[in-house]
Structures are given as C-alpha cells and as structure tokens.
Structure 1
Amino acid sequence: MRTVGLIVEYNPLHNGHLYHFQQSRQAADAQAVVCVMSGHFLQRGEPALADKWARAEMALAMGADLILELPVAYSSQPAEWFAYGAVATLEATGIVDSLCFGSESGDLGELDAAAALLQEEPPAFREALAEELAGGAPYPAAYSAAVARLLPGTDKAELAKPNNTLGLHYLIALRRLGSAIQPLTIRRTKAEYSQAEVTDARIASATALRKLLLEKGTLDEIRPYVPEATARILEREWHAGRAPVHWELFAKPLLQRLLTQTPEQLASIAEVTEGLEHRIRAALGSCVPPHTPVVDTLLGQLKTRRYTRTKLQRMLLRILLGHTKEELSADKLARGISYIRVLGFSERGRGLLKQMKSKAKVPVVTKVTTSPSPFLEMDIRATSVYSLAFPESSARDWLRDYYEPPVRTEEAPASATDDQEALGASSAK
C-alpha cells in the first residue's frame, strides 16, 4: 500500500488544504495518507486556534489515515529545524513512500538544486549568509540572498516565499537523513500563505480565516471556506470554551515570566539572541493591561528591520514555555526524534500502526503513561500552558496528554471528489 506523507498545521483546516490533500494523494498514487501535524504551538510562534486533538479530528474527517504530532521542540522553529523534525518523523515511521508539499514555485527541480548545494552548507554559503545578516537583513531574506549568490539565476525573492523556503528545507532534510522518501510538490494558487484578505469565493488562507474569525466573533464568515467538518468541530470547541485561542489570552502568564526573570535568565531562553533580553525589559513599560493588547504591543515595540514579527513571536513563545538554549541546542535537535506520538487514526490507519510495530525506527506512543523523552515532556508542559487560555480549565485540561486517547474514525469518510472539482486551487502547510 503506497503511503504519502504531509506536513501540516491545519489552523484551521480549510478548502485549500482539502484540495492539496486530494492532489497529493493523486500525485503520489497513494492509498493512505500520514500527516505530521504541529501540536498546540505553531511554526510562526503562534498558538493554534484549536487544540491538537480537534485539528487531528478535522484531518481524519477529510480522509487522512494517521495523524502524528510534531513535537513542540520542532514545531515552533525556523524552517530548517521545523522541516528536519517533520521529515525525521515521517522517515521514522518506516511506512511512508513519498512526501508532497505545497510551494509557490511548483518546481521541484530548482528547489532540489539548492538543496544539493546546502546539504552540507559549504563555507562559501556561510560566509555569504554572515555578510547578508551583517547588512541588517532578517534571516529568511539573508538566507535566500546567500543562496542566490552561490546559484546564479536563482530568484531570491521567489525562494524567500514561505512555502518555497519550507520546501527547500524539506528537501535538505531528506538528503541529510539519507531518506528514500520521494519528494513531490504542488503549486499553491489563489491564496498566498500569509495573505490576510479574502479574494476568492471558496479559497482563503488560514491567516485570513483566523483574522475573520477573531474580528467577527462568529463562524458564519468562514463557513464558505472550510469543509463542513471543520466548521462543526470548531463550533463544538467554541461552545466548550476551548477555541478560538490566540496570543492575547496568554498575556498574564507571559508577563509573569517576563517580570520575574532576570536579564541573565531571559538570555538563557531559546531565541533570545543578540541582547534581546534588554530590549524586552525596556519595552515592558508600554504594556499596560488590561486595556492594551499586551502581546501585540510588546511585539510592536520589539520589531525592527532585523527582527521579524515571526522571530519575535517564537522568542516570546519559548519564554512562555520556559525552553532554554540548552534544551533546544543544535546537537539535540540534530539527533532527531526518539518517539512517534499518535494523535489520531482511521481504520486504514490502524493497519498502518500494525505495520509500524515492525518497521518504525523509534517507539510509537499511543498512550502517555510516562515521559521518558525530554521532547515529550515539553509537549506535556505545552498542553498545560495551552489550557491557560481557556476561561475555565481543570486539572484534566492541564494534564490532558495523560487522559486523551488518539482520535479514531471507524471508517473512511465519503469521497470528496465533488469538493475537489469545485475548489480548483491548492494550498500548503
């Protein structure tokens, strides 16, 4: 049985994701789909709109067969480590034949040429990157500019687009892991990754949908852009007080961390670099709760040409979660994953799990009884912190990883062919 892997966030799962799912399965000629999905906190340093179990349920309702959690150690990282952790998870299953990702270019050849160059990061590239960073460019722009200097003809602006950047790092990760997984890509159209406005009748970016949901305070505005199951699950989570989750709901615990940590303690936290601990303390005077949007104001005070909002969100998230540089050192991240956490599975996925008993390269966790892995312990703590956003949280919410079994579906959902034909556009991560 051919199996394709997808790397996703589904924040929330929308019609573009549905199209990408269908096209990926077709391009890979796959009978089963495995999704590696970020948990409660995402690649841009943001909390997920709904928790990881709700989003796993959305994916299963769409037709996915097995949902695996990308540990928070990797899920809120820059592209290099996010991609490495996700690809390492797919590789460790022992059952995935291909990886299909969305990209703005839709051209695997150009991205793979760059990946071949960057697999070992030659000294000339590191020198070019250092020069670009010294000129004040933010890291993503500096990285693409350095690649363009070594590969004449490369469009650095095109390479710097979010899904192209992620796609490049997926390919680099496949090479570094020596993986036999076949890469495939599908062009993203109609809605850009971070496009905040809706410009199509059926397709909108997750960014635009979150904006609509938070501004309008109702699900009605986003219903045309998401599968029915997504709307139903979000409505349930909303009524239960578990959604929508956003950064401002963490203002008080974040301030508690910022106000009780010394500059030296802040400097030990992952993503706190180049003296940012001092900028943070200076910026706190502008944050006056409860009338000020605390996190947004703080980000505005910290943002510079060098430090993007995404970089700063990741930094604040690591402070909120207490993740140190030592815990997330390059050496520890490079070791890859030491377990596979299952968030959900279909009946076909149950068969995949049986195959993984003999083929997986690391233990498969379906029930958390202990936390022998430091990265799994981080995920358990992340769940506890995430629950602080709920208006009423309980001990069960704080320790939900110990109580919540994987989400299950007994049979595959009905065919989504009609939806696929109606959408006619692709989306990525």
Structure 2
Amino acid sequence: MRTVGLIVEYNPFHNGHAYHLRQSRAIADADAVVAVMSGHFLQRGEPALVDKWARTEMALAGGCDLVIELPVAYATQAAEWFAYGAVSLLEATGVVDAFCFGTESGKLAPLMLAAELLANEPAAFKDMLKLRLDEGSSYPGAYSDAVSAYLHRQGHLDASGFPFDQPNHTLALHYLLALKRIHGVMEPLTIAREKSQYNDEHATDASIASATAIRKQLLDSRSLQEAGAYVPFSTQAVLADRWAKRQCPVSWDNFRIALFNAILTRTPSQLADIHEITEGLEHRICNSMPQLTEATIDQLLTALKTKRYTHTKLQRALLSIMLGHSKADFTRDKLATGVQYIRVLGFTEKGKLLLRRMRKAASLPVLLSAARPPASYRYLELDTTATAIYMLGVSGANSASMYRDFRGLPIIGQSPGDSPL
C-alpha cells in the first residue's frame, strides 16, 4: 500500500485542502494518505477555530486515512521547528513513502538545491543571516534574504532569484532541510497552490478560498452561511454540529482572561524564562499592560508591535506565556531530539490497516491516548495541558472535555465514498 504524507492544520478543512489531497494522492500514485495535523494551537500562535477532534473528523471525511498529532511543542513554532517535528513524525511512522506540500510556484528544484547547500548551515550563510538580523529585519525576512544571497555567492544565479520569502516556499524549504537533517528516505513532492494563497484574507474565487479568509468570514459574520461555498459538505456538517453546541468558532478572544492572568501573575524576570520572550520583550509586555484603554488581545498586540517583532512572533510569545512554555523545554538540543511518540487522532478502515503496519514498522511508540505515558514524555504533557487550557475557552467546558486526551480514543471515520456526510 503506497502511502503519501501531508502536513496540515485544517483550520478548517476546505475545498483547497480537498484539491491538494486529491492531487497529492495522484502525483504520489498513493493508495492511502497519512496526515500529521497540529492540535489545538497553531503555527501562527493562534487557537484553532474548532478542537482537534472535530478537525480530525473533517480530515477523515475529506480523504485522509490516518491522522496523527503534531505536538504543540512543534505545532506552534516558526518554520524551522514546525517542519522538523512534522517531517520527523511522518518519517518515524515507517509507512509513508512520499510527502507532498503546496507551494506558490509548484517548483521543487530551487528548494532542493537550497536544502542541499544549507542543511549544515555553512558559516558564510550564518554570517549573512546575522548581518540581516542586525540590520533590523524580522527573522523570516532575514532568513529568506540570506538564502538568496548565499545561493548567489555560490554561483546559482537562477535559484538566487527564487522567491524564498513566500510563506509556502519558506515552509517547503524547511521541510526539505528537515528531511536532510534526519536522513529521511521519504520522497518529497510539491504542487502549486491554486486560486488563493496562504495569507489571503478575502475570497476571490467562487469555490476556493484560503483558511484565513474562511475563518475571517466565520468570525466576522458569526454565521456558517457565507463560508459554505468554500468547504465540503462534510466540513459544514462538523462545523454546524459544534456551532449548535457553541463550541466554535474559537479565537484569541476566548482566552483573554487566561492570557492576562498569566501575564499579571508573573514578574518580568519570570516572563523572561518563557519560550519566545527575547531581547527585553518581557519589559515591553509589562510596560504595555497599564497603557491599554481596553483589555483586549488585539490592543495588546498593537501596543507590542515593532519592525523587529512580527504579528505572528508576538502571538507565539503570548501563547507561550498562556501555556507556560519555558525556555528550558524548548532548547535546540531538546527540539532536535524530536518527538518520542506517535499520537493517533483518528483513522478509517484503510487507516486501521496502516495502523497495524505502523505498529510494526514505526521507530517510535504508537499511542492511542495519553493515558499512562512514560514520565519522560514531556511534550505529551504539554499537549494534555494545551487541551485543558483550550477547552477552558470553549463554551460548556467540563472535566470530560478538558481531560479527553486521557479518556478518549481516536476518531473512527469513514472514507468520503462511504461517509453519510
């Protein structure tokens, strides 16, 4: 059974994701699809629109056969570690033959060349990166500029003009770097994004829109109606169910009290020990709080914004404060050891067959729940804490929902052809 892997957030699963899934299966000539999916908090430092089990239901109904969780320790990171965690997990399953990701261009060769040259981060490249950071560039911009400059210096003039700074190109490069660094054997594949790009805030097509645009519609209108044209019926059904239970849409506003409590109960020195708090940001946060005319997260982000700190960087910093992520848990050495387990969120009948193979082929233990894990699984502990905090921001939170990681079993889904949705 040839299998293709996808790295996803599905926030929510929409028609563009369905297209990517079908195309990935086709170009990989795959019989099955494994998705590694972020949990309750996402790469841009935001809470998911709806919980990870609802999004697992969407993924299975949309064509995935097996969904595994990307731990919050990697899911909420910048591109380097987000990619490293996701790629290493797919590789660790032992059943994924290829993995496919979307890019703005659909071109793999320039990205492969850059990954080959930069996998060990040559000293000259590090110097170029430091120079651009010292000039005041944000890290993503500085990194992309340094990649282009290094390729130009190495004589790869065509590749040096490649737009590495585009969001999907940046992620793709880090996927390939991760594959090199773990000596992975999966085949990398890419397809071009169609009709909408990663950060597009408005829909420009009749049926395809970015997840960003769809979330904006849902949050602005507080209605499922406008987003209906851009998501499969199965996604509409899952959202409608959670909407009726007042369990979505979830946004940063749901966590205002939790975040402000986490800030106000820490001193600047305690904030400085939190992951993502760098270069005196702890003082900027503490000084900004009394200046807010409204106690909203949007106003706090606006007060903290500088040229050096992107909106996403600040969201990640605030999320780390709320979740209690300490610098000690997020050192490069600890992150580089990778995930210690494979957490299964859901599967179809075909996924069950994959799961049987994975139990024999995987290089890591396969977990169906968080019950009785080894004490050394620190990142799993961070996941269960993240679930409990996320559920505190959802209407009707109770013990069962807060501790579902321990008590719940994976979602058993149906393939699209069999699904009543």
Q: Same fold (TM over 0.5)?
A: yes
Distance 1:202 1:155 in 2: 35
Query: Alpha-carbon deviation of 1:402?
Result: 1.2
Q: Is the 8 A contact 1:99 1:182 kept in 2?
A: yes
Deviations along 1:334-353, whole A, 9 cap, x unmatched?
A: 00111000000000000011
Question: Residue 263 of structure 1 aligns with which residue?
Answer: 268
Query: Alpha-carbon deviation of 1:155?
Result: 5.3
Question: Residue 223 of structure 2 aligns with which residue?
Answer: 218
Q: Is the 8 A contact 2:70 2:86 kept in 1?
A: yes
Pairing of 1:32-111 with structure 2 (within 5 A): 32-111=32-111
Question: Residue 144 of structure 1 aligns with which residue?
Answer: 144
Find the partner of 1:340 among 318, 323, 342. 342
Distance 1:116 1:247 in 2: 39
Find the partner of 2:360 among 358, 361, 370. 358
Tell me which amino acid in the other structure corresponds to 1:326: A
Query: Alpha-carbon deviation of 1:371?
Result: 3.5
Within the alignment, does 1:235 sit opposite 2:240 as a pair? yes
Q: Secondary structure at the match of 2:24?
A: helix
Is the deviation greater in 150-159 or in 174-183? 150-159
Q: Secondary structure at the match of 2:20?
A: helix
Q: Is the 8 A contact 1:147 1:156 kept in 2?
A: no
Within the alignment, does 1:282 sit opposite 2:284 as a pair? no
Pairing of 1:169-248 with structure 2 (within 5 A): 169-248=174-253
Distance 2:250 2:162 in 1: 32
Find the partner of 1:297 among 254, 277, 299. 299
Query: Alpha-carbon deviation of 1:157?
Result: 7.5
Question: Residue 130 of structure 2 aligns with which residue?
Answer: 130
Query: Alpha-carbon deviation of 1:399?
Result: 0.9
Q: Is the 8 A contact 1:11 1:48 kept in 2?
A: yes
Within the alignment, does 1:23 sit opposite 2:57 as a pair? no
Percent same amino acid at aligned positions? 53
Tell me which amino acid in the other structure corresponds to 1:201: A
Query: Alpha-carbon deviation of 1:287?
Result: 3.1
Q: TM-score, normalised by structure 1?
A: 0.94
Q: TM-score, normalised by structure 2?
A: 0.96
Q: Secondary structure at the match of 2:226?
A: coil
Unaligned runs of 5+ in 1: 417-429
Query: Alpha-carbon deviation of 1:156?
Result: 6.2
Q: Is the 8 A contact 1:40 1:383 kept in 2?
A: yes
How many aligned positions are there?
412
Q: Is the 8 A contact 1:115 1:172 kept in 2?
A: yes
Q: Secondary structure at the match of 1:222?
A: helix
Deviations along 1:199-257, whole A, 9 cap, x unmatched?
A: 11001000000000000010000000000010110111111121111001101011011
Distance 1:357 1:276 in 2: 44
Question: Cα distance 1:88–1:62, how it changes in 2: closer, same or farther (>3 A)?
Answer: same
Question: Cα distance 1:268–1:91, how it changes in 2: closer, same or farther (>3 A)?
Answer: same
Question: Residue 168 of structure 2 aligns with which residue?
Answer: 163
Deviations along 1:292-319, whole A, 9 cap, x unmatched?
A: 3611111111111110000000000000
Greater RCO (Cα-Cα under 8 Å, separation 6 or more) = 1
Distance 2:266 2:373 in 1: 27
Distance 2:32 2:291 in 1: 51
Q: Secondary structure at the match of 1:341?
A: strand
Question: Residue 253 of structure 1 aligns with which residue?
Answer: 258
Deviations along 1:74-100, whole A, 9 cap, x unmatched?
A: 000000000000001001100000010
Question: Cα distance 1:287–1:396, how it changes in 2: closer, same or farther (>3 A)?
Answer: farther
Distance 2:247 2:122 in 1: 47
Deviations along 1:347-396, whole A, 9 cap, x unmatched?
A: 00000110012100010001221232100000000000001111321111
Q: Is the 8 A contact 2:370 2:380 kept in 1?
A: no
Q: Secondary structure at the match of 2:387?
A: helix
Within the alignment, does 1:387 sit opposite 2:391 as a pair? yes
Q: Is the 8 A contact 2:149 2:160 kept in 1?
A: no
Q: Secondary structure at the match of 1:186?
A: strand
Distance 2:403 2:241 in 1: 21
Within the alignment, does 1:371 sit opposite 2:376 as a pair? no
Q: Secondary structure at the match of 1:368?
A: coil
Within the alignment, does 1:406 sit opposite 2:405 as a pair? no
Name the Cα RMSD after superposition: 1.3
Q: Is the 8 A contact 2:371 2:407 kept in 1?
A: no
Query: Alpha-carbon deviation of 1:413?
Result: 2.0
Question: Residue 117 of structure 1 aligns with which residue?
Answer: 117
Q: Secondary structure at the match of 1:169?
A: helix
Distance 1:212 1:269 in 2: 33
Is the deviation greater in 263-272 or in 386-395? 386-395
Q: Secondary structure at the match of 1:312?
A: helix
Distance 1:16 1:293 in 2: 36
Q: Secondary structure at the match of 1:159?
A: coil
Tell me which amino acid in the other structure corresponds to 1:230: T
Is the deviation greater in 69-78 or in 233-242? 233-242
Unaligned runs of 5+ in 2: none
Question: Residue 426 of structure 1 aligns with which residue?
Answer: none
Question: Residue 8 of structure 2 aligns with which residue?
Answer: 8
Q: Secondary structure at the match of 1:5?
A: strand
